[in-house]
Structure 1
Amino acid sequence: MSRTHPTDPAPDPRFPFPRTSAPTCCRRDPALFDLASGDLSGDTKDAARGRLEQARRSCSACPIVTACLRWALVNRTLTQDGVFAGTTPAQRCALRRRLADRLGPDWVDVLAARDQARRERAEAARHTPLPVAQARIVHLDRELNGSLRLLPQLTAEEQRLNRSRLVAGLKAA
C-alpha cells in the first residue's frame, strides 16, 4: 500500500518500494488497507477489526510481504497510517524500537549497509569462478545427491500459523 502526499519527504532510496508482477491485494483493494490510527476505536470498532484481520490474512499470502514490511519500517513518515505487511502503525513503531535496541539508533543505516554487502557478495559470486577443488566438490555433491531441491511453498495452514506467531510476537513487544 502506498499513501503519499506531495509534501511528504521522499522515500529512502536505499530501500525501494517492493514490486512484483503478481497482483497483490493491496493494489486490488487499497481501501481494505487504509485504516487510520483512530479506526480501531468507537462505534465501528468491530468492523475495523474485521477489516484489519482481512488485511492481515491478505498480507500473509503476499509474495513481497517481507520487503513491504522493511520499506514500511524504514519510511516512517510515509506509513503513519494504514496496514503494511499485516502490521498497524503501533506495531511498526514497536518493531522500530526493537530494531533500535538491537542494532542501535542508526539501524536504518545498518540495514542498508548489510543489504549493500549482500548485493556485492552476490555480484562477486557471479563473476568469480570457483577454484578447481571446490568445483569438483560441487560436481561430486550433485552426482551423489542430485541437483539442489527448492523448498516447498508454504501451505495456507502454515501461512496462518506463521501469521499467528507474528501477531503473538508483536503483542508481546
Structure 2
Amino acid sequence: MSRRPDTAATDPRFPFPHSPTRTSCQSQPTLFDFTNGDRTADRAATDKRLEQARKECSGCPLATDCLKWALVNKEATRVGVWAATTPGQRTDLRKRLADRLGPDWIDVLAAREKARRERAAAARHTPLSVSQARIVRLDREVNGPMPARSPLTAQQQQHNLARLVAGLKAA
C-alpha cells in the first residue's frame, strides 16, 4: 500500500484500506516503490528491499484488505509492493482468480464481500435468543472472558511471512 491512488479510477465496491495508526507503507513509502525494471540494476539490493517490504507487510493488520484492493484495482497498482506482492505476482494471482472464479471474478468477490458485511451488520443489530445468551454466559463462566487481541509477535510475523513467501512461490 505504498501510496494513496486516485480513487476516481478505482472500484468503489472495494474501499481503500485505512488504519487509525500509520502503517509502514505510509511512514516509509520509498521502501514499497518497485517496478519490474528495478531487478535489472542491482538485483541484490532490490531483493533485500523487497524482502524488507514483505517483512513489513507480514505484520500489517491491513494486508488482506490491501491485497484485495490491489488485485481488483489493476490500473492503480501497476507499480509498487502492495500486500507483499510485486506487479508480476499480482498478475499471476489475478489469473488464478479468473481460473477459479471465472472471468467476472471481481463481481464474485464483490458479492462475497457485500454478503459478509451484511451478515456482520445483521449480527450487530439482532439480539441473541434466550438460549444463545445462556450459552454465552455459560461459556464465560467456564472459560472466562475472551482475551483482547494483542499485536502480532515477532515469531507470528515471521510465520506469516514464511506462509506468504511459500504461497507466492506456489503461484
User: Shared topology, TM-score over 0.5?
Assistant: yes
Q: Provide the aligned length of Structure 1 versus Structure 2.
A: 170
Alpha-carbon displacement from aligned partner over 1:107-130 (angstroms, at most 9, x marks no partner):
111111111111111111222112
Correspondent of 2:67 among 60, 69, 74: 69
- 1:48 aligns with 46
Equivalent position SS for 2:9:
coil
Distance in structure 1 (CA, Å) of the matches to 2:119 and 2:5: 34
Please tell me whether residue 2 in structure 1 is matched to residue 3 in structure 2.
yes
Alignment of 1:19-168 (within 5 A): 19-42=18-41, 44-150=42-148, 152-168=150-166
Q: In structure 2, list runs of 5 or more residues that go unmatched.
A: none
Equivalent position SS for 2:116:
helix
Alpha-carbon displacement from aligned partner over 1:12-55 (angstroms, at most 9, x marks no partner):
1111111112121211121111111110113x222211211111
With over 3 angstroms needed to count, the CA separation of the structure-2 counterparts of 1:116 and 1:171, relative to structure 1, is same
Distance in structure 1 (CA, Å) of the matches to 2:162 and 2:96: 19
RMSD between aligned alpha carbons? 1.9
- Equivalent position amino acid for 1:86 in 2: A
Distance in structure 2 (CA, Å) of the matches to 1:40 and 1:134: 56
- Equivalent position amino acid for 1:89 in 2: P
Distance in structure 1 (CA, Å) of the matches to 2:21 and 2:53: 17
Deviation at 1:152, TM superposition (A): 5.0
Distance in structure 1 (CA, Å) of the matches to 2:146 and 2:24: 32
With normalisation by structure 2, the TM-score equals 0.89
- Equivalent position amino acid for 1:73 in 2: L
Query: Do 1:3 and 1:79's aligned partners in 2 also have CA atoms closer than 8 Å?
Result: no
With normalisation by structure 1, the TM-score equals 0.88
Alpha-carbon displacement from aligned partner over 1:39-85 (angstroms, at most 9, x marks no partner):
0113x222211211111111112221111111101101111111011
Equivalent position SS for 2:11:
coil
Distance in structure 1 (CA, Å) of the matches to 2:106 and 2:15: 13
Query: Do 1:3 and 1:78's aligned partners in 2 also have CA atoms closer than 8 Å?
Result: no
